[in-house]
Chain A
Amino acid sequence: MSRIKDLQKNLFGGTTSNARQFGMIFTLVAIVLLFQFLTARDLGVGFGDGLTLRSDNLIALFQQNSYILILAIGMLMVIVAGHIDLSVGSIAAFVGILVAKAMADWDLPWPVAILFGLAIGAVIGAWQGFWVAYVGVPAFIVTLAGMLLFRGANQYVGNADTIPVPAPFQKIGGGFLPETGPDTGYNNLTLLLGLAACVAVVWRELQLRRTRKEMNAEPAPMWVSVIRMAIMVGLLIFVTLRFAGGRVGTSFPISGLILVVLVLVYGFYTRNTAGGRHIYAVGGNSRAAELSGVKLRRVNFFVMMNMSVLAALAGMIFVARSGASGPQDGLSWELDAIAAVFIGGAAVSGGIGTISGSIVGGLVMAVLNNGLQLLGVGTDRVQIIKGLVLLLAVALDVYNKSQGRFSVIGSITRPFRREASAEPASSSEAGSQPAKTTVAG
């Protein structure tokens, strides 16, 4: 194998789960750099002065898309379990208006209002989960009904009016990490957050190496790990400084922080827990899962209910950011969330997909949207381009898979694997005789 191929395999070939996320991030970085270049050229300034990577643009990008990405987390789990949820936009809007009204009419304090909103989401989720899991109505139909139902409910409750929300509540959608500590010229809390992220990246890489060793697989060479960590840390430092060094009063958005926490929690849940594993089992082969002792109904109920709770959260964040709840909130959000999940490599038939893939898929769409708007492309054409990107991204992947070639999306979604050559034992067993005594483990 040539040196370059070797490097490619080590960095992106999926030798560890870190590597495949790294590969996807690479794709995202390429798109960001493309728009940075195009916006800079448009203005006739140097590459460094392009609009895409400016602090205020990055912050806006995060704020404008955090709710879609939160939906993508829940949607990924729904799609992996083999369902779909079309009602998330309507649920977000309905919860948004209820919460806004609760604070305006009953003077509900904002923390209680948030809990109230989440509770409403849970009740709606239980309703939809009941039909899907216990009655057996396909989720497509249940949530199509929910989409109409809760859109109507939003307009009924709100009288098709907009209802403003109080300033403290607006923080969860439009707020930033506060300024504290010594004057460093940067937002100190954002710096701390970035530092924590860097430490986490290094710790995780080292832990993965240790795990691989325990699994008798030869870990990637140390220099590969070092390069990988260096690139990740470099990227994190750059992003941290951008977020921390923006206009005074702005920094890393609160909604972004909520998103990061959710990604970490749900990423861990889907990857490392029995409950998460059950979702994949149900989506992969529900009958086999059932005969392995997985409680099918409970899993289906959970994913549907969880989706609605996250939709409620997304709705509140959106209302907080826009300062008021209105009848058009959450329109076609479900489609953005579903697109993010599929660009991120989930299988339409269920059983395959990752949280991190979906987040990156969502970010790809977000950057595309943002970049095209910065270039002054009208929303009509932006929609056409987004539609084509969705189609092409998935089509290219399907084609590559059918040709047995490297699949960009597959490389993100495949659980991490070892190279076959790492296990010399297999070749000696391949030609063994049937009556030979058992090889002791």
Chain B
Amino acid sequence: MTTTAPVLLEMRSITKEFPGVKALSDVNLLVRAGEIHAICGENGAGKSTLMKVLSGVYPYGSYSGDIVYQGSQVRFSDIRQSERAGIVIIHQELALIPDMSITENIFLGNEPRKRGAIDWKSAQRQALDLMARVGLREDPDTLIKDIGVGKQQLVEIAKAFAKDVKLLILDEPTAALNEADSQHLLDLLRGFRERGITSIMISHKLNEIEAIADEITILRDGKTVETLNIQRDGVDEDRIVRGMVGRELGSRFPDHTPKIGDTFFEVRDWTVRHPISAERLVCKGESFHVRRGEIVGFAGLMGAGRTELAMSIFGRSYGVYLGGQIFKDGKEIQLKTVADAIHHGLAYVSEDRKAIGLNLLDDIKTSTVAAKLSKISKRGVLDQVAEYKAAEEYRRELRTKAPTVDEGVSKLSGGNQQKVVLAKWMFTDPDLLILDEPTRGIDVGAKYEIYGIIQRLADQGKGVIVISSELPELIGLCDRIYTVFEGQITGDIARKDANPETLMKQMTSTKKMQTR
């Protein structure tokens, strides 16, 4: 890749305003043919807005500035026009229909026809060809809901190829993927580069960017900060972080000295089966404990049963309970409903904040108090002033970026939505917080803040369980890490012994290991 390759796309002084907010001001982006171009920036830096301008989601006329693509100026008025020009965007939230097959999804809206009817034979043939190109080995008749997220992502890319893509835009492509799937996807992108397909990748995973991108454009507060060439400028992660936050970030994790107390929460022989198939155990007699002030990690591959374990403990929200006991402060407690769990001081921040963590119709203040209305009401009657004050307090404490607590949560960026979810559960005064992928899809700066919040909660004497697919995060944050493999806890590893190799070994084997 040389810097002399022809320019494929140039966006010049793009400015986009929303009522009251300037989302982009004078942003420039130059992408050369055949490169992988990364776009980095914090939450709300304008990455997604820029891509929406490019793909015509925000039509020509709703922004100012020029887009020059393949040598001529383009004015897309909707997403179909940009797709016809070969620009395909793959969003973080996949746009696939779960109850349709891989073939049907690949050709959705783009069906090959013969005399007006869909030519399924040809579609099948083409689908197999496209699947081979993205390295997806599956029966093309398999339903989307029956394959994992990693493979779904590949279907999305195959779908893009079906549209004859020239410029592939990926928004957080690996956010929901485990290490192996991420690696596969990155290899795939490298393969595309060799075949001359240009990609733009938005990602918060800086190690991936460093490994794969040719050039990086960094945005901050709706402005272009700089464009760096990885090789020429000798860019590393710290360099990118500096560009994104505007200064040196000493460490990825805040300094923290744990103040660990006694064991106060214990689960014994926890056994749960799958909600539908009666033979499948998702938790096979697991036992674990949490001490006051301790941050406990749960490491495991996707599908290992970490979320299932957490949700089944949180008021039996998942699966069918078969056996096991929960002790808090030495006494056995019964958590048959979510209300019981909240009453006993448990909080569960889900991995999917949009689908099950928040009501997107709500504003910040209704979301903040939603899990414990009793705290702001007397005999069932809500005190709206108390509600406002509580929400405002958490907004300030967590530094949620929003004009007021009346702002709809759907308008917030991922990191700020996550802060609202955290506020919602902190508001319940929990003793034990279970955080499931608390930093998924969140940029470096906000991650740092969320780590700080987690540490402060632990310092208040609460127990915190962190479930994460990012090993560096668990190693940097947790005092102790359990590894989970196929519904079983396979390891209990102290901080000093935790390293990616040990964890990965325990995450892929059933051999029990203890290092304390």
A177-204 interface code vs B (CB 8 A; 1 in, 0 out):
0000000000000000000000000000
Residue of B nearest to A284 (CB): B359
A420 at the interface (CB under 8 A from B): yes
How distant is the Cα of A215 from the Cα of B249 in the complex, in angstroms? 36
A433 at the interface (CB under 8 A from B): yes
Contacts of B362 in A (CB 8 A): 281, 284
Residue of A nearest to B221 (CB): A431
Chain A stretch 408-441: residues in CB contact (< 8 A) with chain B? 415-418, 420, 422-423, 425-426, 429-436, 438-441
Q: Taking A274-B380, A433-B247, A441-B397 as contacts, is the C-beta distance between A287 and B355 under 8 angstroms?
A: yes
Determine if B397 and A438 form an interchain contact, defined as CB atoms under 8 angstroms apart. yes
Residue of A nearest to B391 (CB): A215
B431 at the interface (CB under 8 A from A): no
B371 at the interface (CB under 8 A from A): yes
How distant is the Cα of A262 from the Cα of B285 in the complex, in angstroms? 53
A365-383 interface code vs B (CB 8 A; 1 in, 0 out):
0000000000000000000
Determine if A426 and B360 form an interchain contact, defined as CB atoms under 8 angstroms apart. no
A401 at the interface (CB under 8 A from B): no
How distant is the Cα of A291 from the Cα of B421 in the complex, in angstroms? 12
Contact of B363 among A289, A294, A415 (CB under 8 A): A415
- Chain A interface residue count, Cβ-Cβ cutoff 8 angstroms: 48
Contacts of B337 in A (CB 8 A): 293, 295
A402 at the interface (CB under 8 A from B): no
Q: Taking A274-B377, A434-B448, A435-B249 as contacts, is the C-beta distance between A291 and B20 under 8 angstroms?
A: no
Contacts of B116 in A (CB 8 A): none
Determine if B317 and A434 form an interchain contact, defined as CB atoms under 8 angstroms apart. no
Contact of B380 among A273, A292, A423 (CB under 8 A): A273
Contacts of B128 in A (CB 8 A): none
Kindly provide the distance from the CB of B386 to the nearest chain A CB, expressed in whole angstroms: 10
Determine if B358 and A288 form an interchain contact, defined as CB atoms under 8 angstroms apart. yes
Q: Which of B195-203, B206-214, B227-235, B401-409 contacts A (4 or more CB under 8 A)?
A: B401-409
Contacts of B445 in A (CB 8 A): 433-434
Q: Taking A293-B342, A422-B404, A426-B403 as contacts, is the C-beta distance between A285 and B449 under 8 angstroms?
A: no
Determine if A284 and B342 form an interchain contact, defined as CB atoms under 8 angstroms apart. no
Q: Taking A273-B382, A434-B249 as contacts, is the C-beta distance between A293 and B355 under 8 angstroms?
A: no
Kindly provide the distance from the CB of A440 to the nearest chain B CB, expressed in whole angstroms: 7
B446 at the interface (CB under 8 A from A): yes
Determine if A426 and B401 form an interchain contact, defined as CB atoms under 8 angstroms apart. yes
Contacts of B444 in A (CB 8 A): 434
Contacts of B448 in A (CB 8 A): 434-435
Determine if B355 and A441 form an interchain contact, defined as CB atoms under 8 angstroms apart. no
Determine if B446 and A434 form an interchain contact, defined as CB atoms under 8 angstroms apart. yes
How distant is the Cα of A275 from the Cα of B377 in the complex, in angstroms? 11
Residue of A nearest to B358 (CB): A288
Contacts of B314 in A (CB 8 A): 291
B355-387 interface code vs A (CB 8 A; 1 in, 0 out):
111111111001000111110010011101100
Residue of A nearest to B355 (CB): A287
Determine if B449 and A434 form an interchain contact, defined as CB atoms under 8 angstroms apart. yes
Contacts of A278 in B (CB 8 A): 373
B61 at the interface (CB under 8 A from A): no
B76 at the interface (CB under 8 A from A): no
Determine if B402 and A295 form an interchain contact, defined as CB atoms under 8 angstroms apart. no
B322 at the interface (CB under 8 A from A): no
B408-438 interface code vs A (CB 8 A; 1 in, 0 out):
0000000000000000100000000000000
Residue of A nearest to B315 (CB): A293
Kindly provide the distance from the CB of B128 to the nearest chain A CB, expressed in whole angstroms: 36
Kindly provide the distance from the CB of A348 to the nearest chain B CB, expressed in whole angstroms: 13
Contacts of A2 in B (CB 8 A): none
B107 at the interface (CB under 8 A from A): no
Kindly provide the distance from the CB of A103 to the nearest chain B CB, expressed in whole angstroms: 36
Q: Taking A292-B370, A292-B424 as contacts, is the C-beta distance between A433 and B246 under 8 angstroms?
A: yes
A290 at the interface (CB under 8 A from B): yes
Residue of B361, B396, B446 ringed by the most chain A CB atoms within 10 A: B361
Contacts of B371 in A (CB 8 A): 292-293
Residue of A nearest to B398 (CB): A438
Q: Taking A418-B404, A418-B406 as contacts, is the C-beta distance between A277 and B366 under 8 angstroms?
A: yes
Contacts of B446 in A (CB 8 A): 434
Determine if A290 and B338 form an interchain contact, defined as CB atoms under 8 angstroms apart. yes
Determine if A351 and B380 form an interchain contact, defined as CB atoms under 8 angstroms apart. no
Residue of A nearest to B350 (CB): A291
Residue of B nearest to A273 (CB): B380
Residue of B314, B348, B385 ringed by the most chain A CB atoms within 10 A: B385
Contacts of A289 in B (CB 8 A): 359, 370
How distant is the Cα of A48 from the Cα of B287 in the complex, in angstroms? 81
A214 at the interface (CB under 8 A from B): yes
A352 at the interface (CB under 8 A from B): yes
How distant is the Cα of A290 from the Cα of B339 in the complex, in angstroms? 9
A123-163 interface code vs B (CB 8 A; 1 in, 0 out):
00000000000000000000000000000000000000000
How distant is the Cα of A294 from the Cα of B402 in the complex, in angstroms? 27
B192 at the interface (CB under 8 A from A): no
Determine if B245 and A420 form an interchain contact, defined as CB atoms under 8 angstroms apart. no
B388 at the interface (CB under 8 A from A): yes
**26 examples of A-B residue contacts, CB within 8 angstroms:** A211-B384, A272-B381, A273-B381, A274-B382, A277-B366, A281-B359, A281-B362, A285-B361, A293-B315, A293-B341, A295-B337, A295-B339, A352-B361, A415-B363, A422-B404, A423-B403, A430-B221, A430-B401, A433-B245, A433-B247, A435-B245, A435-B249, A436-B399, A439-B399, A440-B396, A441-B396
Can you list the 10 inter-chain pairs with the closest CB atoms, starting with the nearest? Answer: A434-B445, A284-B359, A420-B403, A274-B373, A417-B406, A292-B371, A441-B396, A284-B361, A285-B359, A441-B393
Using A272-B384, A274-B382, A291-B317 as known contacts, list a sample of 11 further A-B pairs with CB atoms less than 8 Å apart, ordered by residue number in A: A215-B389, A290-B338, A291-B338, A292-B370, A293-B342, A295-B339, A352-B361, A404-B19, A415-B363, A417-B406, A423-B404
